[in-house]
Amino acid sequence: MRSKKPILLVEDDRVDAMTVKRALKEIKVTNKLVITENGEEALAYLSNPENETPCIILLDVNMPRMNGIEFLKVAKNDGRLKRIPVVVLTTSREEWDRVQSFNLGVAGYMVKPVDYQMFVEVVRTIDLYWTLSELPD
């Protein structure tokens, strides 16, 4: 990714977090990876002015305390956060989760285990989106 802003991974499963970390390394993404374990922790990270705004959020749906859908409802209604691209990475095969995620403005939705080639394509698409969104008006 061109931007060296961090990537925020919201994931409560350590094995899945390591898988994403390994996939990012394999596709030579060198952005810092910040990991939070649920939506509440992610919102706390995002609201701290000392933390740099991430270039993308990778979000699990099924988490304790605040799940991914609840996180999206808050983040996509916040003017500072709503333009950050979000890709859902989840074990959920529920159509309701997919529909809710897209209704709440996600850039992509992938069912785990993540197919690396598909993940590469999603990251490239988001990278292109991010580059275009930074062009002057």
pLDDT tops 60 at residue 87: yes
With bands split at pLDDT 50, 70 and 90, how would you rate the model's confidence at 133?
very low
Contact between 45 and 35 under an 8 Å Cβ cutoff? The reply is no
Residue 75 three-state SS: helix
Closest of 83, 36, 103, 31 to residue 63, by C-alpha: 36
- Output the pLDDT for position 108: 84
pLDDT digits (tens, 9 = 90+) for 27-51: 778 889 999 999 999 999 999 999 9
- Quick: pLDDT tens for 67-81: 999 999 999 999 999
Domain coordinates of the chain in residue numbers?
A: 7-131
And the tokens for 6? 């961090």
User: Which two structure tokens, joined as six digits, stand for 25?
Assistant: 């390394």
Domain 7-131 coded CATH 3.40.50.2300: yes
Asked if residue 113 has a cis previous peptide bond (ω within 30° of 0), the answer is yes
